[in-house]
Chain A
Amino acid sequence: MTLLHWAVLSPFIAAILIPFLYKYLKRIHTGWFVLILPLVLFIYFLSFIPRTSSGEAILNNLDWVPSLGINFNVYVDGLSLLFALLITGIGALVVLYSIYYLSKRKEKLNNFYVYLLMFMGAMLGVVLSDNLIVIYVFWEVTSIASSLLISYWYTREKSIYGAQKSMYITVFGGLSMLAGFSLLYVIAGTFSIRELIANADIVMASGLFIPAMILVLLGAFTKSAQFPFHIWLPDAMEAPTPVSAYLHSATMVKAGIYLVARLTGVFGGAPEWFWIITIAGLVTLTWGSISAVRQKDLKGILAFSTISQLGLIMSLLGTGSAAFYFQDGDNALYMTAILAAVFHLVNHATFKGSLFMAAGIVDHETGTRDIRKLGGLMTIMPITATISLIGLASMAGLPPFNGFLSKEMFLTGMLNVTEYGIFHLETFGFIIPIIAWIASVFTFLYCILMFSKTFMGKFDSSKLKVQHVHEAPIGMLISPIILAVLVVVFGLFPNLLAYSIIEPAMAAIAPGILSPGEFFDVHITHWHGFLAPELWMTIGVVVLGVILFMTFKKWENTAFYRGERDLFNYAYDYGYDGLVKGSQWLTRIQMTGRLRDYFIYMCTFIILIMAYTMYRYNLPAIQSLDLSPVPIYVWFVIAVFIGSVIVIPFINNRVALIIATSVSGFIVALLFVLFRAPDLALTQLLIETVSVILFMLVFYHLPKLKKVKTPPKLKAVKLIISIGFGLIITLGSLSAFSLGQEANYSSISEYYTENAKEEAGGYNIVNVILVDFRGLDTMLEVLVVALAVLTVVSLIRLRFKGSEDV
């Protein structure tokens, strides 16, 4: 365990302490204690920057299950560090914000912070592990923590719905991802990402390449809310706003992006990887931005805008993966896309975080997030309005904010795609920048809509439940202000980040492309000249966006704008209902409550499995059977035995049934004598006698046996199953016997035979085994009998209240 391991686990340890702090220090808001942890971690991770920016990676090993290749290896390179800084940095701001957002008197703060810390630790685990299985474990913990936080206000029906939905979709993805990881292990024999990247050519050549890739991508796409799995994210907005800002925009939903970026080194260069990710990203980008326009809930708009921005980053990673096809790191043609992806990742966290917090402030102060009820808040909440304006302008891609820079870079990346000349891009490539441009128009449109509906226009207090609307307390404003300042600072001085954060992250996404000591060229500029197509695309976006906004009155009443619900929700709802109904139906036809039916299932299954196993290992081909001779008198014993057993099903008389059963029992005792097992014979005789008495006692109270009339079809089924079962047992017994002979193992009981006298001082080996060598087992066996006796006594003596003799 190194300091890095402890850093990953520290949030979990803190989560254990939170309930105590909450209980015993009620006067202080629990958030203040929590705040310390992400702050310390953030500073700790900042100290890694000099090392990662020089191209160094830190790897600390800790064996977990080495025999299965599962090790908790913490790996820090540029990409991990970028995410770790986001998680702890945004985490600290969100905790600070939540202290003012969640009232210490009304809310169950212990739950909230325990879940939040659990999430923080799990997320750090995802981005800092080198082992796929460890990543998977932490990945699922983030899903669970996310669901718990969405259902934080668990009395609301919508919260539960949202929590379930996110759980189902992300856990489904997680399981697919696990399957994908397993396939990767099958191909390359390792769970370590670095070793997989080193063996990328083996993975690429394997026939399992495509299935593994698709399964892994399912995990990434569900987590990062890519189309059509995006539907859980808008419903996740039922969570408290700090959670939405943290999990559902800045960190957790970027886990999928992290995974894609991380595994680009394994899968990158394949046309399937390129196309699937690029198309999924572009569709998500467009669908999200168009859907965002239709939303009337502030957080709804932000949710769809997050979806669309995630799609944007995803498509950039998809197009950037071409770098692996060319193996040529200097080429700005495709590295621009990866640069844009990393840069936009940071920018999105800053502006979207501030926007969520601003939306939370509006909700907190006015009691609603419905843009139809809001308006004119600019004069009442000037600081919040300014923060929102900065965030929205950045998101819309306006200068001089950081969003403008990464948006331009995104357009450059998409334009570059047409020049790749691979993967059929010369034919279809031109569509990519067009889609990107259309999506940008809608992005611009919902940004203006959001701002104008909330902060401009007329303030109408009659629509609000709260009487005196005022600006939020300063504590609540600190975090969004910090983020808004970052938006401006990164916008004006982008090169602050260039070689400290962005370049190491790029190098980590595209490993092995640079030779050691080389660096990617990261030079972010605001101005590309009048002839740059990006400039004209941005101008076009603004012009068209403004025109659409001006004509808002015209399309306000169309079906497009009035509907809010995403079409794919219906698919989910129908699918969910169908699943529930289908499972109920399946349970109903199986669980009949008939012992007979259950027995038929079990026996059929046993027969099939045993028969398949015997067929698979050629067991019926029994070679040599060294059978012991059968003396003549044994035939008589056996004949009586079989006779007494076979008549039992035909008997319809109680006493006869008992007699036939006990005859078989006594013959078993006789057989034990023949098989040289005197102890067994004695015990069997005793037990059989007691059993007969018991039977008689109980039979006396029970009704007469009925003449059974079974329908012939059922009778046939019963016959087939019982005979089949008998056959399987006979074959199994023979094959076990012959295998035992063929293998010629020395029996483990030789030890007992040799040592019975010396060690235990007894001559009867069976007795010695029972009372000496395995004495404890026998004692527990006696305990079982005692328990049975107690149950029998209580069953007989127990009487119901009010009835005399039951």
Chain B
Amino acid sequence: MELLMSIVIGIVFSVTIYLFMSKDLLRVVAATLLLSHAVHLLLLTMSGLQRGAAPVLSFDAEAYTDPLPQALVLTAIVIAFAVTALLLVMSYRTYKVHKTDDLEELRGSADE
């Protein structure tokens, strides 16, 4: 399972990096979203997958899955959402002000 997930995460990362290098703001925002998914999965995978019951004590299992990466990822999901929301609104705003969402045209002006 870990090997499979590692490969899957690698593929997601590849797509993300590819998207980051495109010209549209929207693709870049989509890429950040994908990137956060990939990172969350990576955190879980590195600690080992399906090694026991869900970390809830009332299951009374012999072994539990490591709860710490889960706590980390939970925090990360929320933060990633905040970042995505911010980016989305920023790209909306950028488009309204500059009338373009092309990153090539959004480059700094010459008199900077």
Q: Considering the chains assembled together, what is the distance between the CA atoms of A784 and B33 in angstroms?
A: 18
Query: Within B74-111, which residues are at the interface with A (CB < 8 Å)?
Result: 74-75, 77-79, 81-86, 88-93, 95-97, 100-104, 107-108
Residue from B6, B16, B19, B25 in contact with A730 in the complex, judged by beta carbons closer than 8 Å? B6
Task: Judge whether B49 and A675 touch: CB under 8 Å.
Answer: yes
| A449 CB–B CB distance under 8 Å | no
Interface residues in A692-729 by Cβ distance below 8 A to B read 694-695, 698-699, 701-703, 705-706, 708, 718-719, 721-723, 725-727, 729
The verdict on A595 contacting B48 (CB below 8 Å), with A691-B33, A722-B21 known, is: no
A643-697 CB contacts (< 8 Å) to partner B: 645-646, 648-649, 654, 657, 661, 664-665, 668, 671-672, 674-680, 683-684, 687, 690-691, 694-695
- In the complex, the chain B residue whose C-beta lies closest to that of A756 is B57
Kindly supply a per-residue 1/0 record for chain A positions 497-509, scoring 1 wherever the CB is within 8 Å of any chain B CB and 0 otherwise: 0000000000000
Chain B interface size, as a band, is: 35 or more
Report A630-642 CB contacts with B as 1/0, cut-off 8 Å.
1000100010011
Residues A648 and B66 in contact, CB atoms below 8 Å apart:
no
Q: How far is the CB of A484 from chain B (nearest CB, A)?
A: 59
Given the interface pairs A678-B54, A737-B48, the reply to whether A730 lies near B41 with Cβ below 8 Å is no
CA distance A747 to B51 in the complex (A): 13
Query: In the bound complex, how far is the Cα of B98 from the Cα of A703, in angstroms?
Result: 12
Tell me which residues from 408 to 456 in chain A have a Cβ below 8 Å from any Cβ of chain B.
Answer: none
Task: Name B96's closest neighbour in chain A (CB-CB).
Answer: A806
> Which of B17, B33, B49, B56 touches A721 (beta carbons < 8 Å)?
B17
B33 near A701 with CB under 8 A, answer: no
Query: Could you tell me if B2 and A628 are in contact, using CB atoms closer than 8 angstroms?
Result: yes
Quick check: A736 and B46 within 8 Å, CB to CB? Answer: yes
Interface with B: A202-210, A255-263, A353-361, A790-798, which one? A790-798
Partner of B49, one of A593, A628, A687: A628
Q: Which residues of B are found within 8 Å of A708, using beta-carbon distances? A: 22-24
Which of the residues B1, B15, B21, B77 comes within 8 Å of A648, measured between beta carbons? Answer: B15
Which of A680, A683, A705, A733: most chain B Cβ within 10 A?
A: A733
A777 within 8 A of B: yes
Q: Which residues of B contact A661 (CB under 8 A)?
A: 30, 33-34
With contacts A594-B104, A691-B33, A753-B67 known, is A722 near B17, CB below 8 A? yes
Chain B residues in 8 Å Cβ range of A727? 10, 14
Q: Which of B19, B66, B84 contacts A749 (CB 8 A)?
A: B66
Asked if A600 CB lies within 8 Å of chain B CBs, one says yes
Which residues on A sit within 8 Å (CB–CB) of B37? 664-665, 668
Q: How far is the CA of A753 from the CA of B65 in the complex (A)?
A: 10
Are B3 and A764 within 8 A (Cβ)?
Answer: no
Give the contacting residue for A740; candidates B7, B19, B46; CB below 8 A. Answer: B46
Q: Which residues of A contact B44 (CB under 8 A)?
A: 672, 675, 677
For chain B residues 11-45, which have a beta carbon within 8 Å of chain A?
A: 11-28, 30, 33-34, 37-38, 40-42, 44-45
Contacting residues, chain A, for B17 (C-beta < 8 A): 599, 603, 721-722, 725-726
A763 at the interface (CB under 8 A from B): yes
Instruction: Known contacts A592-B107, A683-B78; decide if A706 and B41 are in contact (CB<8 Å).
Output: no
State how many angstroms separate the Cβ of B34 from the closest Cβ of chain A: 7
Q: Of the candidates B13, B58, B71, B102, which one forms a contact with A725 in the assembled complex, judged by CB atoms under 8 Å apart?
A: B13
Residue pair A792, B74 in contact (C-beta under 8 Å): no
A470 at the interface (CB under 8 A from B): no
State the Cβ distance, A286 to closest chain B Cβ, in Å: 51
Report whether A680 and B70 are in contact in the complex, using a CB–CB cutoff of 8 Å: yes
The answer to whether B66 and A725 touch across the interface, beta carbons within 8 angstroms, is no
Contacts of B93 in A (CB 8 A): 795-796
Question: Is A654 in contact with B58, judged by CB distance below 8 angstroms?
Answer: no
> How far is A284 from B58 in the complex, measured between Cα atoms in Å?
85
Task: Give complex CA distance A638, B97 in Å.
Answer: 41
Question: What separation, in Å, do the CA atoms of A657 and B34 have in the docked complex?
Answer: 12
Q: Is the CB of A702 within 8 A of B1?
A: no
Give A753-794 interface residues, CB cut-off 8 Å to B. Answer: 753, 756-757, 763-766, 769-770, 774, 777-778, 781, 784-785, 787-789, 791-792
Considering the complex, give the chain B residue whose CB is closest to the CB of A730: B10
Contact B21 A596, beta carbon cutoff 8 Å = yes
Q: How far apart are the CA atoms of A721 and B14 in the complex, in Å?
A: 8
Min Cβ gap A757→B in Å is: 6
A802 on interface, CB distance cutoff 8 Å = no
Question: Is A548 on the interface with B (CB-CB < 8 A)?
Answer: no
The answer to whether A668 and B10 touch (CB under 8 A), given A781-B75, A788-B82, is no
Is A627 engaged at the interface, CB distance under 8 Å to the other chain? yes
User: A628 to B21, Cβ gap below 8 A?
Assistant: no
Q: Is the CB–CB distance between B79 and A781 below 8 Å?
A: yes
Instruction: Kindly report which residue of chain B lies nearest to residue A593, judged by CB atoms.
Output: B107
Given A641-B8, A702-B91, residue A757 in contact with residue B57 (CB < 8 A)? yes
Shortest C-beta distance, B48 to chain A (Å), equals 7
In the complex, whether A629 has a CB less than 8 A from a CB of chain B is: yes
- Please give me the residue from chain B that is nearest to A780 by CB atom: B75
For the complex, give the distance between the alpha carbons of A787 and B6 in Å.
34
Contact across chains for B88 and A695 when beta carbons are under 8 A apart: yes
In the complex, which of the residues A628, A763, A774 has the most CB atoms of chain B within 10 Å of its own CB atom? A628
| Chain A residues closer than 8 Å to B65, beta-carbon distance | 675-677
A748 within 8 A of B: yes
CB of A625 closer than 8 Å to a CB of B:
yes
Pick from A595, A703, A766: contact of B74, CB under 8 Å: A766
A-side contacts of B24, CB under 8 Å: 705-706, 708
Whether the Cβ atoms of B79 and A785 lie closer than 8 Å is yes
Beta-carbon nearest neighbor of B97 in chain A: A806
CA separation between A595 and B20, bound complex, in Å?
8
Assuming the A-B contacts A594-B107, A678-B54, A691-B81, are A599 and B7 also in contact, with contact meaning beta carbons closer than 8 angstroms in the complex?
A: no
With a 10 A CB-CB cut-off, give which of B16, B17, B26, B27 has the most chain A CB atoms: B17
Contacts of B66 in A (CB 8 A): 747, 749
Q: Are B88 and A645 in contact (CB under 8 A)?
A: no
Checking A654, A726, A791 against B14 with a beta-carbon cut-off of 8 angstroms, the contacting residue is A726
A270 CB–B CB distance under 8 Å: no
Q: Given the complex of chains A and B, what is the CA–CA distance between A763 and B61 in angstroms?
A: 12
Interface membership of A275, Cβ < 8 A: no
A796 to B48, CA, bound (A): 43
Q: Which of B5, B25, B55, B92 gathers the greatest number of chain A CB atoms within 10 Å?
A: B55
Query: Do residues A770 and B79 form an inter-chain contact, with CB atoms below 8 A?
Result: no
Partner of B48, one of A740, A763, A791: A740
- Residue from the list A595, A627, A683 in contact with B1, Cβ < 8 A: A627
Task: Give every chain A residue within 8 A of B48 (Cβ-Cβ).
Answer: 628, 737, 740-741
Interface 1/0s, chain A 507-523, versus B by CB < 8 A? 00000000000000000
Q: A596-B22, A645-B12, A726-B10 are in contact. List 16 more A-B contacts (CB 8 A).
A: A594-B107, A629-B1, A664-B12, A675-B65, A683-B77, A708-B23, A726-B17, A733-B5, A733-B45, A753-B55, A766-B55, A766-B74, A784-B79, A788-B86, A795-B93, A806-B97
Return 10 A-B CB contacts under 8 Å, by A number. A600-B21, A671-B41, A722-B13, A722-B16, A722-B17, A733-B6, A733-B10, A740-B47, A753-B67, A795-B89
In the A-B complex, the 3 residue pairs with the smallest Cβ-Cβ separation, listed nearest first, are A726-B14, A730-B10, A593-B107
User: Which residues of A line the B interface, CB within 8 A?
Assistant: 592-596, 599-600, 603, 625, 627-630, 634, 638, 641-642, 645-646, 648-649, 654, 657, 661, 664-665, 668, 671-672, 674-680, 683-684, 687, 690-691, 694-695, 698-699, 701-703, 705-706, 708, 718-719, 721-723, 725-727, 729-730, 733-734, 736-737, 740-741, 747-749, 752-753, 756-757, 763-766, 769-770, 774, 777-778, 781, 784-785, 787-789, 791-792, 795-796, 806
